[in-house]
């Protein structure tokens, strides 16, 4: 189980660029659940994932995985617990290494990495079988530098790498946003299959209302560093793209009368 308790994070505090990214967020994610996170720009979606992965120190609050408090663990120490796929398809792989070498690195995430034994024998056969399931012919390119592949091909392999060790937590940060429609559709199909087979607690951030409406068993909408909506089960399954677009409209309308505006009115009418 993944739990965030009263998590707070402000970037550039005390400056003109201050951003309150997380304002006391408390969320609990059941083992094996698939949560889709949406929200307005700057709502805290990616910061929420960064709090889980250890990308920065929290101002307050705690993060725990399966009862272990990992709040003070640096990012590298959490590597064996958290798989992550970023928006940029080139961010999750080492371009100068081959496909096989990248998979070998991923299979040893969070541990001392000696690649040579992994690049021979049975493991290569396993990787070839896994790549064949993607349907892009990548099983024939194990020894090609991964930097020669297209964005969609690399993102597919990055997703495979992130799930290779079945980590307790899988974070998908707008992982189809930079892809063309055909590649995005392929990666979403692969995502659905891999998540269904794994026991990882999956949190997927997206700007696609179609993805938000059709994927996952829970939806969390964030706004101004807080949880604005949290639905699951039948209520989640009934959500439509139109309703989610309406939710965004409501959040933007709420923004017109934000905390600063309220204080301004109070001051004016004292």
User: Would you list the domain boundaries of the chain?
Assistant: 2-94+167-268
pLDDT on residue 257: 46
H-helix segments, the chain: 45-53, 99-107, 122-134, 151-163, 181-197, 209-214, 233-238, 241-255, 259-268
The residue-averaged pLDDT of 89-109 equals 88
For 195-212, how does the pLDDT look when each residue is reduced to its tens digit (9 = 90+)?
A: 999 999 999 999 999 999
pTM over 0.85: yes
In this structure, what DSSP letter does residue 145 have?
B
The 226-232 sheet, strands edge to edge: 82-85, 169-173, 201-205, 34-39, 218-223, 226-232
Inter-residue contact 11 to 225 (CB < 8 Å)? no
For 191-250, how does the pLDDT look when each residue is reduced to its tens digit (9 = 90+)? 999 999 999 999 999 999 999 999 999 999 999 999 999 999 999 999 999 999 898 888
Band (pLDDT 50/70/90 cuts) for residue 254 is confident
**Over 90: is that where the pLDDT of 20 sits?**
yes
Phi-psi region of 14 (alpha: psi -120 to 50; beta: other; left: phi over 0): left
CATH number for the domain running over 2-94+167-268? 3.40.50.300
Name the nearest CA neighbour of 27 among 47, 48, 43, 44: 48
The answer to whether residue 1 scores a pLDDT higher than 50 is yes
Calpha distance 68→1 (Å, rounded): 10
Q: What is the pLDDT of residues 142-174, one digit of tens each?
A: 999 999 999 999 999 999 999 999 999 999 999
The candidate with the shortest Cα–Cα distance to 203, out of 174, 235, 178, 229, is 174
Instruction: Give yes or no for a contact between 11 and 19, defined as CB atoms under 8 angstroms apart.
Output: yes
Residue 148's pLDDT is 94
- Compare 88 and 248 and report the one with higher pLDDT: 88
């Amino acid at each position: 189980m993944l739990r965030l308790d009263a998590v707070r994070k402000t970037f550039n505090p005390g400056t003109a660029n201050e951003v309150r990214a997380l304002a006391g967020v408390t969320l609990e994610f059941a083992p094996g659940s698939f949560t889709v996170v949406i929200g307005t720009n700057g709502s805290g979606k990616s910061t929420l994932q960064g709090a889980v992965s250890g990308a920065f120190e929290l101002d307050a609050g705690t993060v725990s995985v399966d009862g272990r408090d990992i709040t003070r663990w640096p990012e590298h120490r959490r590597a064996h617990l958290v798989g992550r796929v970023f928006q940029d398809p080139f961010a999750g792989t080492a371009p100068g290494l081959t496909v096989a070498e990248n998979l070998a690195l991923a299979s040893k995430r969070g541990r001392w990495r000696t690649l040579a034994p992994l690049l021979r024998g049975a493991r290569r056969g396993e990787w070839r079988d896994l790549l064949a399931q993607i349907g892009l012919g990548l099983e024939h390119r194990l020894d090609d530098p991964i930097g020669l592949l297209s964005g969609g091909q690399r993102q597919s392999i990055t997703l495979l790498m992130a799930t290779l060790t079945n980590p307790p937590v899988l974070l998908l940060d707008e992982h189809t946003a930079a892809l063309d429609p055909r590649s995005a559709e392929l990666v979403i199909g692969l995502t659905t299959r891999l998540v269904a087979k794994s026991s990882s607690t999956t949190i997927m951030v997206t700007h696609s209302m179609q993805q938000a409406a059709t994927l996952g068993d829970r939806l969390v909408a964030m706004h101004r560093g807080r949880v604005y909506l949290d639905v699951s089960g039948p209520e989640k399954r009934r959500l439509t793209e139109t309703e989610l677009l309406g939710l965004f409209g409501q959040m933007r309308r709420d923004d017109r009368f934000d905390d600063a505006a309220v204080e301004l009115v109070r001051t004016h009418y004292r």
